[in-house]
């Protein structure tokens, strides 16, 4: 039951079950290249596709639901049901005040990037389609509180556009896109005109594109290998949102946002408190480098204000909302990742929204997301 | 040092005279590998370039657009175009007086300070010493200069430590590091580097990370074949906003701030918002993951406010958060003579960015914090400026 204290989380993750791909892809065609779990001699399980590890060789990412948050499941039996069962997930959402949850994958990559690394576009597309169909059949059909987002094959653009159009026609409400596909395999730079058909398709369908942090290892600064896992993951959790700065900078200065004025970009797991500085700096640099003379009709902060959204989950809102704009901030829980505020999300919301007006709070917690994802106010 | 204007730049760049290295290194031993200005051919035209280890570096011979006039920004292509005040410490004092700056913390201009790139440890050690000696000489010309030394990365840690001690003795007030250690060297937070942290803590000189400080994270997004040079420069520079957020979590969660609680870190030319993000994000992860059970007894924001400092110059919005970040952790910088500098109108920029800021906060931001962080021997003669209009300045 949703209450007026509840909120839309625009960034949560589903855990794909072991039979998702093995039951949907042709074994005779792909054999054991299909994503599946393998068990090591010591009993630990890990995901494998085409002979390569998925999800960093883990079985799941569900720290927030585990008895000890610093210990991820080692095998499927240890994965908490709320990670992969819609019914159990709804209970977890109720416990934390989440009315609706916009869904990202886990095994397929936090940003849907994993299959883009495959060398075989045929296998890539088959894996992507299976995920997109499964999410609608198993999650979206279970409750209108789940907002499904499709993943896409990264190349060629016709294939990406076709799969997005197919998935959106079937019920997907957003697109999870790995922001820098050229980091996944040898495809053109995302700012090159070759990618314009992908952005144009998104504009025409009117669905938002989510660029989740962490899709490109090139944007990350890995921790010292001698650190304990909990410390190493804490380093990753703080550095990972910086991906959003690089991506926002690239898509602004390389004019993707200018060429596609109706494109709406959600920076999932972006955090918030860096953004004011970055945008002030981008504008300052824009001015000192004389870029107004180089044919930009908007400066970087104006491109952001027209087309972009940041997602907060632990950030105080009041210091930043005036500059960034109440229409461009969304709320999230990152369930079930360890960095999630679950199960104490309500307390976090109260702390983070201190000093924020009711109207602004309503926008950030509910109506901005409702507008983006077409969530009906009555949907419970 | 006299503080008569009430403004210290915690990040400026000083050039090297063309004989700075040839006069300090053995020609017999290193010959043309010594850093020097040479005429080279580039795209069919003859230009001057700083050459290191025999190879030309960069696309100019002096990074000083603030001194070059119109069209802005212009980068000199021939040595005789480089104004003397770009590399001559005595000449430069006139620019400081004209701009109303009492003192500067000095980072390099071409040929820069990344001599490990040559891959020759013996050469690197020699050139690092020459670099540090050359900049230390600035302190003998005026007590208004506070240079920051570089380290011989390819030497063993005891040698590095001795160079830090030697450079500090000669007048340097800190070391300048790369965000990621170069090449195959151990990770920034590997205990291998403990002698460096220990030396800087013992000597009470800050460790600096400047701009994007060579971080490879995100580098690919700063370059795109479709960018003009100025667009690429904007994309590169603005993403330096990420530097504190990329580096501080490593320093805090690896326990370096626990083991070296008096060691200071300065993030030069990285803006102030990155620190703001780091405070919130590191505390969130520390709480979420119960990291006190992993030996980190200090709340990250406490360690950051105790040990980390960052600079500002244009952040009208960011400066409003000065108390959330830490009023004792922020220092003004000019970035003179780079493209982003406001020279010769630094005070106009100061008054613009500090609108509505109290006299007490102004003092901290404009010079008191820098005096403390760099242990400057300062004598105050500046009148209380408070919120006086800029024309009251002498």
Residue B80 has pLDDT above 50, yes or no: yes
Q: Which contacts qualify for A165-169: CB closer than 8 Å, 24 or more apart?
A: A165/A201, A165/A205, A166/A129, A166/A132, A167/A132, A168/A205, A168/A207
CB contact under 8 A, A69 and B276: no
Task: State the smallest CA–CA distance between residue A137 and chain B in angstroms.
Answer: 33
Q: Average pLDDT, stretch B217-241?
A: 88
Note the residue count of chain A.
380
Q: To which H or E segment does residue A57 belong?
A: none
Dihedral, CA of residue B166, residue B170, residue B174 and residue B176, to nearest 10: -70
> Does the structure show a pLDDT above 50 at B389?
no
* A88-107 CB burial, b ≥16 within 10 A, e <16: ebbebbeebbbbbbbbbbbb
Number of Cβ pairs < 8 A linking chain A and chain B = 219
CA triple A151-A157-A160, angle to 5 deg: 20
Place of tokens 């003859």: B46
Q: Do A253 and B235 touch (CB under 8 A)?
A: yes
Which tens digit of pLDDT belongs to each residue from A56-97?
999 999 999 999 999 999 999 999 999 999 999 999 999 999
Q: Return the pLDDT at A5.
A: 64
B190 contacts A284? CB cut-off 8 A: no
Across residues B39-44, what is the average pLDDT? 94
Strand pairing class (A209-210; A174-176): parallel
Helices (H) and strands (E) in chain B, counts: 14, 13
Can you tell me the mean pLDDT for B276-294? 95
Residue among B234, B241, B247 minimizing CB distance to A277: B241
Residue range A8-26: mean pLDDT, rounded: 97
Dump pLDDT digits (tens) for A228-267: 999 999 999 999 999 999 999 999 999 999 999 999 999 9
Determine the residue of chain B that is closest to A180 in CA distance. B221
Residues 2-31 of A with CB under 8 A from B: none
Cα separations in angstroms, B309 against A282, B11, B271, B367, B372 = 22, 12, 10, 13, 11
What pLDDT is recorded for position A2? 47
Q: Is the pLDDT of residue B276 over 90?
A: no
The yes-or-no verdict on residue B304 having pLDDT over 60 is: yes
pLDDT at B238: 87
Alpha helix stretches (DSSP H) within B312-358: 322-325, 346-353
3-class secondary structure, B98: helix
Query: Which residue is listed with tokens 């507008």?
Result: A371
CB contact under 8 A, A277 and B274: yes
Distance from CA of B225 to the nearest CA of A (A): 9
For a pLDDT cut of 70, what percent of chain A falls above it? 98
* Percent residues over pLDDT 70 in chain B: 97
pLDDT digit string, tens, across residues A302-341? 999 999 999 999 999 999 999 999 999 999 999 999 999 9
Over residues A138-143, the mean pLDDT reads 98
Q: Which residues are CB-contacts of B168 (< 8 A; sequence separation ≥ 6)?
A: B149, B203, B205
**For the segment B96-146, what is each residue's pLDDT rounded down to a tens digit?**
999 999 999 999 999 999 999 999 999 999 999 999 999 999 999 999 999
Whether the pLDDT of residue B384 is over 50: the answer is yes
**Rounded average pLDDT over B79-91:** 95
pLDDT at B313: 93
Does residue B237 belong to the interface with chain A, where contact is any CB pair within 8 Å?
yes
Indicate if the pLDDT at residue B386 is higher than 50. no
Q: Is 0.90 surpassed by the pTM of this model?
A: yes
Mean of per-residue pLDDT scores for chain B: 94
Distances in whole angstroms, Cα of residue B143 to Cα of each of B116, B169, B394:
30, 15, 20
Alpha-carbon distances of B327 from B11, B25, B331, rounded to whole Å: 18, 44, 9
Residue A167 has pLDDT above 80, yes or no: yes
Please report which confidence band the pLDDT of residue A378 belongs to, taking 50, 70 and 90 as the band edges: low
Cα–Cα distance for residue pair A374/A365, rounded to 1 Å? 15
Chain A residues close to B352, C-beta within 8 Å:
none
């Amino acid at each position: 039951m949703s209450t007026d204290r509840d909120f839309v989380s625009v960034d949560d993750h589903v855990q794909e079950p072991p039979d998702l791909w093995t039951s949907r892809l042709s074994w005779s065609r792909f054999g054991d290249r299909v994503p599946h779990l393998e068990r090591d001699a010591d009993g630990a399980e890990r995901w494998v596709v085409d002979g390569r590890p998925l999800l960093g060789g883990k079985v799941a990412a569900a720290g927030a639901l585990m008895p000890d948050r610093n210990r991820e499941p080692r095998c499927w039996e240890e994965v908490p049901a709320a990670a992969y069962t819609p019914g159990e997930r709804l209970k977890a959402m109720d416990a934390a005040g989440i009315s609706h949850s916009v869904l990202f994958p886990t095994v397929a990559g936090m940003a849907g990037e994993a299959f883009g690394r495959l060398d075989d576009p045929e296998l890539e597309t088959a894996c992507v389609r299976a995920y997109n169909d499964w999410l609608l059949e198993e999650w979206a059909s279970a409750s209108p509180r789940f907002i499904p987002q499709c993943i896409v094959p990264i190349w060629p653009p016709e294939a990406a556009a076709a799969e997005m159009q197919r998935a959106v026609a079937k019920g997907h409400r957003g697109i999870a896109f790995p922001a820098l596909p050229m980091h996944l395999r040898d495809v053109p730079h995302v700012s090159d005109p070759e990618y314009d058909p992908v952005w144009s398709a998104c504009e025409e369908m009117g669905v938002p594109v989510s660029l989740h942090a962490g899709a490109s290892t090139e944007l990350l600064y890995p921790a010292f290998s001698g650190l304990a896992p909990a410390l190493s993951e804490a380093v990753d959790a703080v550095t990972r949102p910086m991906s959003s700065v690089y991506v926002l900078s690239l898509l602004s200065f390389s004019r993707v946002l200018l060429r596609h004025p109706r494109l709406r970009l959600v920076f999932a797991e972006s955090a918030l408190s860096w953004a004011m500085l970055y945008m002030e700096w981008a504008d300052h640099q824009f001015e000192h480098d004389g870029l107004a003379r180089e044919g930009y009709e908007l400066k970087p902060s104006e491109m952001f204000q027209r087309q972009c959204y940041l997602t907060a989950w632990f950030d105080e809102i009041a210091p930043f909302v005036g500059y960034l704009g109440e229409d461009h901030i969304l709320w999230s829980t990152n369930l079930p990742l360890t960095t999630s505020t679950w199960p104490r999300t309500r307390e976090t919301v109260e702390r983070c929204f201190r000093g924020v007006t009711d109207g602004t709070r309503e926008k950030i917690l509910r109506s901005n997301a409702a507008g983006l994802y077409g969530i009906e106010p009555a949907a419970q | 040092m006299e503080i008569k204007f009430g403004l210290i730049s915690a990040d400026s760049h000083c050039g090297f005279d063309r004989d700075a290295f040839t006069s300090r290194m053995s020609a017999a031993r290193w010959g043309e590998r010594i850093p020097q200005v040479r005429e080279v051919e580039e795209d069919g035209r003859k230009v001057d370039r700083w050459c290191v280890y025999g190879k030309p570096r960069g696309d100019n011979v002096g990074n000083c657009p603030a001194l070059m006039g119109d069209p802005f920004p212009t980068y000199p292509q021939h040595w005789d175009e480089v104004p003397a005040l770009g590399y001559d410490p005595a000449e430069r004092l006139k620019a400081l007086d004209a701009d109303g700056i009492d003192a500067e913390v000095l980072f390099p201009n071409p040929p820069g300070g990344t001599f490990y790139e040559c891959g020759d440890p013996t050469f690197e050690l020699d050139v690092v010493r020459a670099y540090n000696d050359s900049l230390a000489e600035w302190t003998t010309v005026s007590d208004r200069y506070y240079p920051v030394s570089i380290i011989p990365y390819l030497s063993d840690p005891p040698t590095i430590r001795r160079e830090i001690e030697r450079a500090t003795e000669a007048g340097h007030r800190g070391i300048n590091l790369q965000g990621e250690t170069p090449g195959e060297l151990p990770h920034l937070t590997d205990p291998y580097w403990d002698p460096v942290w220990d030396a800087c803590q013992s000597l009470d000189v800050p460790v600096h990370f400047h701009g994007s400080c060579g971080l490879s994270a995100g580098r690919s997004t700063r370059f795109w074949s479709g960018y003009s040079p100025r667009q690429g420069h904007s994309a590169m520079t603005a993403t330096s906003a990420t530097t504190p957020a990329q580096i501080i979590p490593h320093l805090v969660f690896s326990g370096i701030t626990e083991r070296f609680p008096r060691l200071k870190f300065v993030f030069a030319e990285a803006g102030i918002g990155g620190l703001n993000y780091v405070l919130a994000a590191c505390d969130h992860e520390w709480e979420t993951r119960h990291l006190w059970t992993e030996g980190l007894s200090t709340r990250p924001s406490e360690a950051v406010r105790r040990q980390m400092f960052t600079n500002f110059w244009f952040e009208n919005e960011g400066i409003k958060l000065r108390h959330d970040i830490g009023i004792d952790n922020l220092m003004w910088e000019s970035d003179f003579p780079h493209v982003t500098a406001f020279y010769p109108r630094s005070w106009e920029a100061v008054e613009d960015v500090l609108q509505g800021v109290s006299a007490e906060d102004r003092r901290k931001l404009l010079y008191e914090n820098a005096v403390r962080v760099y242990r400057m021997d300062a004598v105050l003669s500046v009148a209380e400026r408070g919120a006086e209009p800029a024309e009251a300045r002498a």
